[in-house]
């Protein structure tokens, strides 16, 4: 059985998908951009600000589903420029400072809304 997760504390989906879906005690969080849920716009401040906002959006979705960052087992980070990798890591490490999840990070040509980063997440109980 699957459960659809929705929260107003993270940006609404900008397409035909859910913010997250839970199945068999595993939560699949759709890719999150650095979008402020109150404005629907990307935050100002470059890669660090967008990474922080994307992770805050992920935390809001995890919380709505009854999960936390501790239960994240895998993240995938999509960057439009690998020159931003170190700055992204600096922010990412403040959220995952111990028992870090598995992760992949790679460059993509472009992201929705002109975002610099998108992060998708899988958490398990």
CA dist., res. 63 & res. 13, Å (int): 17
The pLDDT, as a whole number, for residue 87 is 98
Q: In sequence order, what are the residues at sequence separation of 6 or more whose Cβ sits closer than 8 angstroms to the Cβ of residue 45?
A: none
Count how many domains the chain has: 1
Residue 1, pLDDT > 90, answer: no
| Domain residue limits at 63 | 2-124
The pLDDT, as a whole number, for residue 125 is 94
CATH number of the domain to which 14 belongs: 3.30.1330.40
Q: Across-strand partners of 106?
A: 78
Residue 117, pLDDT > 90, answer: yes
What mean pLDDT is predicted for residues 106-123?
Answer: 97
List, for residues 92-104, the tens digit of each pLDDT value: 999 999 889 999 9
**Listed residue (53, 51, 2) closest to 24, CA to CA:** 2
List, for residues 29-51, the tens digit of each pLDDT value: 999 999 999 999 999 999 999 99
Name the helix (H) or strand (E) containing 2: strand 2-5
CA dist., res. 6 & res. 81, Å (int): 30
- Strand 72-79 relative to strand 102-107, pairing: parallel
**Listed residue (89, 23, 32) closest to 56, CA to CA:** 32
List, for residues 43-83, the tens digit of each pLDDT value: 999 999 999 999 999 999 999 999 999 999 999 999 999 99
């Amino acid at each position: 059985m699957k459960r659809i997760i929705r929260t107003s504390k993270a940006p609404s989906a900008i397409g035909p998908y859910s913010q997250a879906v839970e199945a068999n005690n595993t939560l699949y969080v759709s890719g999150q951009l650095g979008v402020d849920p109150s404005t629907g716009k990307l935050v100002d401040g470059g890669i660090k600000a967008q990474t922080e906002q994307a992770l805050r959006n992920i935390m809001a979705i995890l919380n709505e589903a009854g999960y936390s960052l501790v239960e994240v087992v895998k993240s995938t980070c999509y960057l439009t420029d690998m020159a931003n990798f170190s700055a992204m890591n600096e922010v990412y490490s403040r959220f995952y400072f111990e028992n870090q999840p598995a992760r992949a990070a790679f460059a993509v040509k472009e992201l929705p809304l002109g975002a610099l980063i998108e992060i998708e997440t899988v958490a398990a109980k």
